Amino acid sequence: MKKRTGAEIVVEALIKEGIKVIFGYPGGAVIPIYDVLYDTPQIRHILTRHEQAAAHAADGYARATGKVGVCLATSGPGATNLVTGLATAYMDSVPLVAFTGQVPTSMIGNDSFQEANITGITYSITKHNYLVKDIDELPRILKEAFYIASTGRPGPVLVDLPKDIQNSKTDAVYPKEISIRSYRPHYEGNPKQIKLAANIIDKSESPVIYAGGGIISSGASKELYEFAHHNNIPVTTTLMGLGAFPEDDPLSLKMLGMHGTRYANYAITEADLIIAVGARFDDRVTGDVSEFAPRAKIIHIDIDPTAISKSVRVDIPIVGDAKEILPRINALTKGKKREAWHRKIARWKEKYPLKYNNDGKLKPQFVVEKIYELTKGKAIIATEVGQNQMWAAQFYRYTRPRSFISSGGLGTMGYGFPASIGAQLGRPDEVVFDIAGDGSFQMNIQELATVARYNIPVKVAILNNGYLGMVRQWQELFYNRRYSQVELSGSPDFVSIARSYGVKGIRVEKCEQVEPALKEALSTPGPVVIDFRVEPEENVYPMVPAGAALTEMLDGLA
């Protein structure tokens, strides 16, 4: 076989792995790869305006499609600019492969120009990483990288490529299959544990399914729906699980936790059984762990054994894939009615709906409701982080998996806009909105150049309240309104900024302008930025204060 350079092998691997789009920013240490990409029409390279945005765009692409996202950066500062994106993907279990350039192997450790120990830096925020030192090992490493990123509990993998490795040649063949002795994800689940779970479900009078992002990662939404309906069990989801179960279904409790619905939090608290699937009991869900589901036994289904009993003690652990396990439990259960439990939940839903004071002023919740209404619930919603994220989670109704794209675990400001770019490129026939805050949007505002250059039709809805809203809310509620460094005076005119990049910009200041502006944006074939000047001190409710029990919810309307 003809010898190929390392750069050629990298691009060959991308083609063989079915990668159609990559996101990156060139530099001296990756010129050999970019030179090969120049003659590779099968792969579309999107030039972002910052490496962090490349990582977030690859992440958004992966979340929207279920495929591995790919980003590419040069050595040193290019590689370190990927760090926040890698940590974001790691916390939310997103399959991503990042390629970084590195100084030649003979210069590693000499503090060479644009050298950084990126494998050491990213050790704790990647599922695995590699520094390639032998060209003959490169094909195997690349195959392993994509395999590790996409199997088991997904996550980011980084491959660091010294420049001499990119230029060296080998006749080593790209493997068709890979087997790693120390890495063997377990999918089937223990039959004895599955039988125990079925028995306890049949005995339960007031169970709740608590579903997380693992349902979406495993493609188990259909199995979850069938399991919930066969057993007549209500379903609440985490932020990462939004869309895993349709929120217009009578069994839906929507989101639980710090800014979840009252009825979801009450149901969890009074349940006698929690069936946790693909979720990790994070602190934003549990509140005070000692008060979380005090009456309930807990079944925990997760593909990652380290996630089980990590935060909350569980009674029946089942390690495996939800897509495999839920149907097997379903086949053993009898399908109990649980009518009294459903009547109680119906009363909570009637008494405690999600609501806000609709007093004629321009409220951010109203904007989100209008986006839902005009897109008929069929859009992909990406968010930034903070109040905008929570309002998007609460007031848009998610009925499909992979329709909500947000940084959950790390809470990364500046994530939503580049992630929406990746989502739009991954699913070009869908409407994609980035619901943003004026603080978050400025963190990657340079990506307006990216959407303009490639005419990527993302619609950005900025809920512009002039503050770092969520921090301001905490300062209002818990720090006697001592607003320290949260007022965003000096923010730009977003409409003028958008237009300066060649992107349509629209300003909205009144409720009656919301619908016409959204209709104009939806009818525009390219990208649009809408600056909604919303009420400055509107808060997100319900809210469970940090460290409080789920029943100790604040409600600004009470």
- What digits encode the pLDDT tens for the residues 341-352? 999 999 999 999
Whether residue 557 is contained in a domain is answered as: no
Question: 316-319 and 273-277: which strand pairing?
Answer: unpaired
What count of Cα atoms within 13 Å lies in the side-chain half-sphere of residue 226? 15
Using the 3D structure, point to which of 325, 351, 377 is the last residue of a domain.
351
Tens of pLDDT, residues 435-494:
999 999 999 999 999 999 999 999 999 999 999 999 999 999 999 999 999 999 899 999
Q: Which CATH number goes with the domain that contains 268?
A: 3.40.50.1220
Q: What torsion do the CA atoms of 216, 218, 220, 224 make, to the nearest 10 degrees? A: -70
Flag whether pLDDT at 35 surpasses 70. yes
Average pLDDT, the chain: 96
For 288-304, the pLDDT digits (tens) are 898 999 999 999 999 99
Q: Kindly report the number of other CB atoms within 10 A of residue 181's CB atom.
A: 5
Question: With b meaning 16 or more CB within 10 Å and e meaning fewer, what string describes 61-74?
Answer: bbbbbbbbbbbbbb
469 and 344 fall within a common domain: no
pLDDT at res. 556: 78
The residue out of 316, 351, 386 marking a domain boundary is 351
Exposure string of 498-528, with b = 16+ CB inside 10 Å and e = fewer, is: beebebbbbbbeeeebbeebbeebbeeeebb
Per the domain annotation, does 356 fall within a domain? no
Whole-number Å distance between alpha carbons of 86 and 157: 8
299 and 389 together in one domain = no
Q: Which CATH number is 493's domain given? A: 3.40.50.970
Q: 151 and 285 share a domain?
A: no
Give pLDDT tens digits for 112-128.
999 999 999 999 999 99
| Any domain includes 420 | yes
Catalytic residues: 51, 113-114, 163, 470
164 CB burial (10 A radius; 0-12, 13-18, 19+): middle
State whether 152 and 43 are in the same domain: yes
Q: How far apart are CA 262 and CA 270, in angstroms?
A: 12
Q: Which two structure tokens, joined as six digits, stand for 499?
A: 């237009």
Domain limits for position 404: 364-533
Same domain? For 335 and 460 the reply is no
Looking at residue 132, the DSSP 8-state letter turns out to be -
Question: At which residue do the structure tokens 């069938």 appear?
Answer: 226
pLDDT of residue 309: 85
Q: Which of 328, 351, 374 is where one domain is finished?
A: 351
Q: CA dihedral in degrees (29, 30, 31, 37; nearest 10)?
A: 180
CB 394 within 8 A of CB 224: no
Residue type, 279: A
Tokens of 250: 């009578």
Query: Do 323 and 261 share a structural domain?
Result: yes
Shared-domain flag, residues 142 and 91: yes
Q: In the structure, what pLDDT confidence band is assigned to residue 558 with cuts at 50, 70 and 90?
A: very low
102 belongs to a structural domain: yes
Q: Which amino acid is at 421?
A: I
d(CA 511, CA 514): 5
Mean pLDDT for 148-157 is: 97
Based on the fold, state whether residues 245 and 291 are members of the same structural domain: yes
Give the amino acid at 29: A
Same domain, 15 and 130: yes
What was the pLDDT predicted at 2? 87
Q: Which amino acid is at 306?
A: T
For the chain, the residue count is 558
152 with 243, same domain: the answer is no
Domain count, the chain: 3
- The CA distance from 198 to 321, in Å, is 16
pLDDT recorded at residue 537: 96
Identify whether residues 335 and 436 lie together within a single domain.
no
In this structure, is residue 542 part of a structural domain? no
Which strand (E) or helix (H) includes residue 284?
helix 283-286
SS3 38: coil
On whether residue 552 sits in a domain, the answer given is no
232 found inside a domain: yes
Same domain, 401 and 435: yes
Q: Is residue 179 part of a domain?
A: no
CA torsion angle 419 425 430 435 (round to 10): 20
pLDDT of residue 557: 67
